[in-house]
Chains A and B, each alone.
Chain A
Amino acid sequence: MEISLTVNGDTQSADVEPRTLLVHFLRDQLGLTGTNIGCDTSSCGACTILVDGQSAKSCNLLAVQADGAEITTIEGLAGADGLHPMQQAFHESHALQCGYCTPGMVMASISLVEEYPNLDADGVREGLEGNLCRCTGYQNIVKAVLSVKK
């Protein structure tokens, strides 16, 4: 099936099998491998991207569902002027170790502070409930997100 969507500002048209998971479309067809796959059950959040500006788990969507959507992946954040403020905050707070959960965690965090501008530390923790990290113990992730929140 033909789909057309905007990914990181570029229009992409492609022919996909309806069963194709959005994450596989991004990774295997568009070569955007920054978005990772960590589970089968939408529990871990490693595949989190922005769909029309809001976080979504790209392993829990079919590519055909994203037809017409505006997608942002981790590759779409940093520009000529450097890292996105959330990426920079993760760097400065040592909020990543192995880095596998990081793209999803960063995307979820960007969406989180947009959706809930007044979060305290507990709110950040609750808001990141759907993104698992096995390395950091989360303390520095929370610190990073709080440093960016509006």
Chain B
Amino acid sequence: MIPAPVGYIRVDSTEAALAALGEHGDEAKILAGGQSLIPLMRFRLAAPSMLVDIAGITELSGISVVGDTVSIGAMTTHSALEHSGELAEACPLLAHVASVVGDPAIRHRGTLGGSLAHADPASDLPAAVLALGGTLVASGSNGSREIAATEFFTGFLESALGADEMLTGIKVPVSTGGWSYQKFNRRAQDWAIVGAMVAEGGAGVALVNMGATPLRASAVESALAGGASSVEAAASAAEGTEPSSDNNGDAAYRKHLAQVLTGRALRDAGME
């Protein structure tokens, strides 16, 4: 499988990237780590006419913790998240989730921003940012704006990013309360059939691959807030979800898994 012919520009600043996007419009695509984009290009399911490679924008990589906020550059690799001692202390859920993305080789190249912008509901990291109540930072021709994770994922592989915008980083609150990620798949390297994520002692519960976008399991969250046990709360995990059916699971099985995995995640996170 061989990509269609494509143009390529490498930029070393966000401004240059935005300028390139402005120049090439809809036909341009940001190339971050490429771990999701290049397979799509090989199948010619994606055939942008111009790639804007942002790997050279050094200021987009890095993790910093200031006060109650963890800021992470969009080009920070999964591997960097996984191995960051600072992140392990400030937000262990995110560090852990990064460590179960794909396989080590994918984690060396894949980036947090790329994963979020790709907006795949079966991906691990989008749900983590959602569970953590994170904010995504986007830059565009009109300057920079912050988008709540809850507003960011708008559809299957669709996000709130405009065609002239790029993701530059995220902010998540420092979160050391009980957490868990229960990823269920048939092979370790595969996407989650369903995943259940619990952050901050149940304040945030999110689901992977339970619909067109990563989802907050709001029924579970409110049940917990109302004093429900993990078992009671997990029973509502599939409420309002419309999961797809594929080789590995139909919608009904996914809903069942969402309940089981949410229950396990809650208990793993320390809830009774």
Contacts and interface: CB of A to CB of B under 8 A. Distances in A.
A and B touch in the complex (CB under 8 A): yes
A131 B106 CA distance: 11
A104 B34 CA distance: 19
A42 interface: yes
A55 B104 contact: yes
A108 B103 CA distance: 10
Interface string A17-54: 11101000000000000000000111101001001001
Nearest to A39: B1
Nearest to B50: A18
A115 B104 contact: yes
Which of A40, A42, A64 is the most central at the interface, judged by chain B CB atoms within 10 Å of its CB? A42
A3 B189 CA distance: 32
Main secondary structure of the interface of A (DSSP, over half): mixed
Contacts of A61: 34, 38, 109
Contacts of B6: 18-19
A126 interface: yes
A51 B108 contact: yes
Nearest to B39: A41
Contact of B34 (A40, A60, A129): A60
Contacts of A60: 34-35, 38-39, 106, 109
Interface string B1-13: 1111111101000
Interface in A59-99: 59-62, 64-65, 67
Contacts of B53: 64-65
A112 B107 CA distance: 12
B189 A130 contact: yes
B188 interface: yes
Given A42-B35, A51-B109, A129-B103, 5 more contacts: A19-B2, A40-B1, A115-B83, A115-B104, A130-B106
Interface of B: 1-8, 10, 31, 34-35, 38-39, 41-43, 51, 53, 55, 79, 83, 102-106, 108-109, 187-189
16 contacts: A18-B6, A18-B7, A18-B8, A21-B2, A51-B108, A55-B108, A57-B109, A61-B34, A62-B31, A62-B34, A108-B104, A108-B105, A111-B104, A129-B103, A130-B104, A130-B189
